[in-house]
Amino acid sequence: MKFTKLSQIRANPENPRRITKADIEKAAKSITEFPQMMKLRPVVVDDTGRALGGNVRYHAMISLGMEEIPEGWVVPADALTEEQKQEFIIKDNSNYGENDWGALANEWSQLPLADWGVKIPEDWLGAVNGIDAPELKSGDREPFIQMTFTLHDTQAVELNAAIFKAKAEGGAQSGVNENSNGNALAFIAEKFNRG
């Protein structure tokens, strides 16, 4: 069966994941800003239209007032047995692996990770609640100093924008280490100190 209307789909009442209003709002924002993602991570339904995977995205489409479903946003999984459907539901809601906080801090921190669904712990760049500060990547040379700054949200936005700009201008590379954020900050400092 081809699903073309949102009214053909229904949420899974046995979905093992709790869905909050904030989750739906984030998913709705994501759909609005990056609709191509829906073709890459569609809602998966059984032959009756029950959502096996993508319940949050389904609720987000409702919150956006959608009636028609763009092609490829919903994929039927009608060839699965009942046992396979149950397995899919559980596995789709399971998180395998853990985040590499060092990699996120070094390579991705200038991006809106929380808006993209990354569950960021409080003070993720510090040693709080048993979370160690991110390590420098292998290949970084001794000696090094690891620094943590506490910034207001607006300052963090400005700093991340400056780091992003410095990286775009080639400031992520250095002969000293492989830490692109540290290299970008050093690049910014060199420009400021020279000027």
Which helix (H) or strand (E) segment holds residue 43: the answer is strand 43-45
Distance, in Å, from the CA atom of 145 to the CA atom of 136, rounded to the nearest integer, reads 10
Least confident span in 26-40, 57-71, 138-152: 138-152
- Predicted confidence at residue 125, as pLDDT, reads 54
State mean pLDDT over 143-172: 74
pLDDT band at 140 (very low <50, low <70, confident <90, very high): low
**Candidates 1.20.1050, 1.10.3470, 3.30.1460, 3.90.1530; CATH matching 6-92:** 3.90.1530
Nearest by Cα to 163 from 116, 123, 106: 106
Residue 68 per-residue DSSP state:
B
- Predicted confidence at residue 192, as pLDDT, reads 81
Output Rg (C-alpha) for the chain, integer angstroms: 22
Per residue in 122-133, pLDDT (tens digit) is 655 553 334 444
Q: Which long-range contacts (CB under 8 A, 24 or more apart) does 114-118 make?
A: 115/26, 115/29, 115/30, 116/30, 117/26, 117/30
> Which tokens belong to 79?
């060839």
- Predicted confidence at residue 121, as pLDDT, reads 67
Q: The whole model's pTM is what?
A: 0.59
Domain extents in the chain: 6-92, 101-194
